[in-house]
């Protein structure tokens, strides 16, 4: 797949965004079957660069990702108004 597209996974996940060489590449949104959502950059089919992870409970985490994992300084905005800074 090349360009923009949507992929529905057998486990109930859904990706909508940019594709290159049949991999998630560029900007995209992943809706996970547990209700969480990731919105941000993808490289080589992995979360990489700036992104926002939205938890089903209303919390959201903003920061950078590398090789599908959080890296560096992230801020977690709790649904109760609390803000937590984390370093990975």
Across the chain, which has 88 residues, the per-10-residue mean pLDDT values are 95 98 97 98 97 98 97 97 97
Residue 69: domain span: 3-87
Q: Please state, in angstroms and rounded to a whole number, the distance separating the CA atoms of residues 52 and 49.
A: 10
CATH number at 32 reads: 2.20.110.10
The total of structural domains in the chain comes to 1
For 60, the token pair is 């959201």
Evaluate the CA torsion angle 84, 17, 15, 21 in order and state its sign: negative
Does the model's pTM come out above 0.85?
yes
Q: What is the pLDDT of residue 1?
A: 83
Q: State the number of CA atoms in the 13 A half-sphere of 45 facing the CB.
A: 6
């Amino acid at each position: 797949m090349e360009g923009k597209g949507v992929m529905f996974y057998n486990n109930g996940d859904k990706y909508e965004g940019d594709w290159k060489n049949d991999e998630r590449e560029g900007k995209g949104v992943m809706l996970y079957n547990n209700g969480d959502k990731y919105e941000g950059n993808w490289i080589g089919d992995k979360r990489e660069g700036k992104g926002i992870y939205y938890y089903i409970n209303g919390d959201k985490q903003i920061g950078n990702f590398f090789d599908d994992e959080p890296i560096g300084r992230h801020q977690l905005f709790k649904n109760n108004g609390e803000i937590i800074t984390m370093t990975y």
